[in-house]
Amino acid sequence: MELITRSEQETIDLGYKIGKLLEANSLIALNGDLASGKTVFTKGIGKALGIKEVINSPTFTILKIYEGDMTLYHIDAYRLYENPYDLGFEEFLDAGGVMVIEWFDYIKDSIDAEYLKVDMSYVDETTRKITIEAQGRKYEDIIKEIEGC
């Protein structure tokens, strides 16, 4: 599935729509160049999960945990591309929250789980091309729901 968002708010809104469809122990695999909207998209997911805190990039901390109606585990794997060792991220997959991993392709070989893959591309200052692909049955259902909107 391919979508175009034409503003930061539309990218947040798309994240929100997807976030409302997520169940506990869901994994969102985000990929895209710098400034492609990964963290903006995650803000929408966080809003759907009832998170009141400001969500920002965990680039320097690698992991940020936000509490809401459901916990959001926000991981930035950018600095892990040279050392994608077992960092224990799988323990968060079974913790009852939602895990969002930015730069997922850098560590995908160390994650053994189904996920919703979201690739984001910078088109211009406000426009983003977003490709969404299911890696597992429950994520196929999410794509069907989004297509129906």
Instruction: Provide the 3-class DSSP secondary structure of residue 99.
Output: strand
Confidence band, pLDDT 50/70/90 cuts, at residue 112: confident
pTM for the model stands at 0.92
Would you give the DSSP letter of residue 109? G
CB 115 within 8 A of CB 98: no
pLDDT-based confidence at residue 88 (cuts at 50, 70, 90): low
Is residue 68 helix, strand or coil? coil
Is residue 11 packed enough to be buried (19+ CB in 10 Å), middle (13-18) or exposed (0-12)?
buried
Split at pLDDT 50, 70, 90, the class of 128 is very high
Stretch 101-124: mean pLDDT, rounded? 92
Instruction: Quote the pLDDT of residue 87.
Output: 64
The fraction of the chain above a pLDDT of 90, given in percent, is 72
Domains of the chain: 2-83+98-147 (3.40.50.300)
Residue 12 has pLDDT above 60, yes or no: yes
One-letter amino acid at 108 equals K
Q: How many CB atoms lie within 10 A of CB 125?
A: 8
